[in-house]
Structure 1
Amino acid sequence: MARIGAELRRQDFIEATVKVIAEYGVANATTRRIAMAADSPLASLHYVFHTKDELFYAVYESLINMPQPTLEHVPAGATAAESVAQMLRQLVRWFAARPDLATAQFELYTWTLRNNPEMASKIYAVSGEATEQAIARFSGSQLDKAALTTISRLFINLFDGLLLSWSAHCDLERLEAETETACQALELLVASY
């Protein structure tokens, strides 16, 4: 049997955790169930991730980083307002095409907020920083730090609200219409700077 490197195994466990959380919820995402979903011995899971919190944080980091390449497709010459709105459209579409990831993200954040508020705060801060950096890349030097912080917070709130609403109504057409309304609001905010 060929040995699998720790980094590859790490990614297997992250993907298995997302599937298990999406199917069973965080409360039922046992390490045994996650190891089985990754087709790996339980000991390997505990070798790669020493604690469940460490595994859950890695999942959340992965959920923050996965869609980043999608955000690179903002049209050249777009204004900062158009760029930020396009980023929101693309991010919503990316997660809508991967409902298990959206479900896992909500489940995990809600569980973390209840069971490990310190980690929840850290996750929110990391999400905010990643969003600020992405917005800064596409808006150039048009926005100062205070504007970036305000815009990124609204961006995150709109994104989370859109996906939460969609998870309740499961209507992609409605999601697209609501996303367009959110993008208009975001464009107005960014243009005001």
Structure 2
Amino acid sequence: MARMGAELRRQDFVEATVKVIAEHGVANATTRRIAAAAGCPLASLHYVFHTKDDLFYAVYESLFNLPHQALEEVPAGTTAAETTAGVLRQLIAWIIRHPDAARAQNELFFWAMRNDPEMANKIYSVALEATEQALERATGLHRENAVLKAASRLLIQLVDGLIIAWSAHGDLARLQAETETACKALALLVAND
């Protein structure tokens, strides 16, 4: 049997954890269930990730990076307000294509808030920093700009709220209509700079 490198194994465990969390929730994402979903021995999981918290943080980091990669493709609008609304649309489009990843990301964040507030704070700080960078790149607004900072925080809140609402109602047309309403609100904030 060929030996698999720790980095490749790590990715297998991350992907399996996303599936398990999306299907069963964080509380039921046991290391035994995750190892089985990855098709790997439990000992391998414990070798690659020393603690379950380490695994969950690695999952969150990988999930967070995926939607932000989609932001590289946001076309610039004619104004910063239009471009900012486009960023929100792009993130929701990514979520529609990857519902398990979006569900797992939210589950992990709520788990972290209850079990490790310091980790939750770190996760939010990383998300805010990446969102500010993406909006700065997309709009040309400077990071010191108060509107860019407010728009970044609002963007995160809107995405999280839209994911939660969609998870509850499951109606794609409703999600898209709610996204357009959120885009208008976000664009108004940026346009009032």
- Unaligned runs of at least 5 residues, structure 1: none
Matched, 1:25 2:25: yes
Q: Distance in 2 between matches of 1:77 and 1:169?
A: 31
Question: What does the per-residue CA deviation read over 1:30-86, in whole Å, with 9 as the maximum and x for residues that have no partner?
Answer: 111111111111111111111111111111111110122211222245322111111
| 8 Å contact from structure 1 (residues 22, 104) kept in 2 | yes
Matched, 1:147 2:135: no
Tell me: CA distance 1:149–1:142, structure 2 relative to 1, closer, same or farther (3 Å): closer
| 8 Å contact from structure 1 (residues 25, 107) kept in 2 | yes
Which residue of structure 2 aligns with residue 46 of structure 1? 46
- For these two proteins, the number of residue pairs brought into alignment is 193
Tell me: CA distance 1:179–1:126, structure 2 relative to 1, closer, same or farther (3 Å): same
Q: Distance in 1 between matches of 2:66 and 2:187?
A: 24
| 8 Å contact from structure 1 (residues 135, 152) kept in 2 | yes
Q: Distance in 2 between matches of 1:37 and 1:188?
A: 45
In the TM superposition, what are the counterparts of 1:52-71 in structure 2 within 5 Å?
Answer: 52-71=52-71
Matched, 1:111 2:111: yes
Tell me: CA distance 1:15–1:153, structure 2 relative to 1, closer, same or farther (3 Å): same
Tell me: CA distance 1:76–1:159, structure 2 relative to 1, closer, same or farther (3 Å): closer
| 8 Å contact from structure 1 (residues 80, 142) kept in 2 | no
User: Which residue identity lines up with residue 95 of structure 1 in the other structure?
Assistant: I
User: Which residue identity lines up with residue 167 of structure 1 in the other structure?
Assistant: S
Q: Percent of pairs identical after alignment? A: 68
TM-score, normalisation: structure 2:
0.95
User: Which residue identity lines up with residue 113 of structure 1 in the other structure?
Assistant: M
Q: Distance in 1 between matches of 2:119 and 2:143?
A: 29
Q: Distance in 2 between matches of 1:73 and 1:175?
A: 21
Indicate the SS of the match to 1:67. helix
| 8 Å contact from structure 2 (residues 85, 183) kept in 1 | yes
Q: Distance in 2 between matches of 1:11 and 1:143?
A: 33
> How large is the RMSD of aligned CA atoms in angstroms?
1.4
Which residue of structure 2 aligns with residue 190 of structure 1? 190
User: Which residue identity lines up with residue 153 of structure 1 in the other structure?
Assistant: R
- Displacement of 1:161 in angstroms is 0.6
- Unaligned runs of at least 5 residues, structure 2: none
TM-score, normalisation: structure 1:
0.95
| 8 Å contact from structure 2 (residues 135, 148) kept in 1 | yes
